[in-house]
Structure 1
């Protein structure tokens, strides 16, 4: 794969009290990509009270302060970005080796948006099965943990993430992208932390995430989805 000299990537990472993960992911990015392809790494901080900001600065990432809310944080990061391609990444998700070349190659082939397949950092067979489904190019199999690349012009055209969504913002945005463009699922995998499943119980979390998908399909709005998430996962 050859990089496009006219295209560079801005990596956008929304963070809130991520001192245990951020240094690891920034080190990983440096080891798995080329600096000539990465225009910048922007950490949009939602008000961390730990060492998150200091760690981001220590590793050379730009830090932008924001109000809390992942959709709001990512939209703000996109406004600060200068690369032609935006790559939205969670602080606990590790992209594959040469992920930058894979993204740029997909864009050269005409795909303006896409993601990677996903694996969890666990051997739990049920979670491994649901992660396996991420190879299917359908909106039901999409989520923010798979990361997201998108051309900056397309991001502006589609008006980015809907800030009414305090959860499900990634999926809602990707559903709009499917209607707008040829969404590409790249064959390599990101590795994402199963920490929420460990903290709350994998069966409970997976069931209630499935219910959130169903509620959205049946027409539930962002407030109803967040109320359900707060009751059954966040405050459970």
Structure 2
């Protein structure tokens, strides 16, 4: 029997040949094909085999201009499912994640996310991951993944493409104003690779500064200039 609602998983990718196959295999193991309408990998101009690997592992690969906001908006536009589930290319879902999302929607929640853990025992990062259980917009971020009913996504006009970074946090802040946001008790596990490459304290400090700048009214261009100077990776 076909479920009442289905999920479209949208993953923005850029040069993720080494990661995306593992993520897609993990989605197959932790989800149910009957509940997942499709998996869409939105490629922002990879120079490697990201698109080929994505398709080999059962996902649809579509090309987009670079920028997570643009990529995720395009994925949402192409999606056929009732619920959009945005996932980073280095984030692993918990068991039965799709059913847990559908259960939350059935309970009346139109948007939400999972808690988050890093793939490290570093106490500094474990503390910040612990904070993801708090239902406040200041504790939200794209690494926690995000589900939202497609109808609500369209009403809120999706991600603001003026943001080259911080697009997840900006959009979720708008969702908090429009709907009751649900924090699911299970956790996704996200890679700490950026922290390993650039330094635990350094990266967290600069992310905190970006939050502060946004709070003080900085425009998207200013946030990106700061990010490009201090953290730039993707």
Q: TM-score, normalised by structure 1?
A: 0.97
Q: Which residue of 1 aligns with 2:84?
A: 86
**Matched ranges for 1:165-176 at <5 A:** 165-176=163-174
Cα distance, 1:234 vs. partner? 1.2
Cα distance, 1:232 vs. partner? 1.2
Q: Which residue of 2 aligns with 1:61?
A: 59
Any conservation in 2 of the 1:46–1:67 contact (CA below 8 Å)? Answer: yes
- The match for 2:72 among 62, 71, 74 is 74
What is the SS of the residue equivalent to 2:48? coil
Q: Which residue of 2 aligns with 1:24?
A: 22
**Matched ranges for 1:1-236 at <5 A:** 5-234=3-232
- Partners of 1:25 and 1:189 in 2: how far apart? 15
What is the SS of the residue equivalent to 2:80? coil
The total of aligned residue pairs comes to: 233
Any conservation in 2 of the 1:4–1:108 contact (CA below 8 Å)? Answer: no
Deviation digits for residues 116-172 of structure 1 (CA, Å, limit 9, x no counterpart): 000000111010000000000001100000000000000000000000000000000
Moved segments of 4+, more than 2 Å: none
Deviation digits for residues 8-47 of structure 1 (CA, Å, limit 9, x no counterpart): 0000000000011100000000000110000000000011
Any conservation in 2 of the 1:14–1:70 contact (CA below 8 Å)? Answer: yes
- Partners of 2:61 and 2:151 in 1: how far apart? 23
What is the SS of the residue equivalent to 1:159? coil
Stretches of structure 1 that go unaligned for 5 or more consecutive residues are none
Cα distance, 1:4 vs. partner? 8.4
- Partners of 2:61 and 2:202 in 1: how far apart? 35
Stretches of structure 2 that go unaligned for 5 or more consecutive residues are none
C-alpha RMSD of the superposition: 1.1
Cα distance, 1:5 vs. partner? 1.7
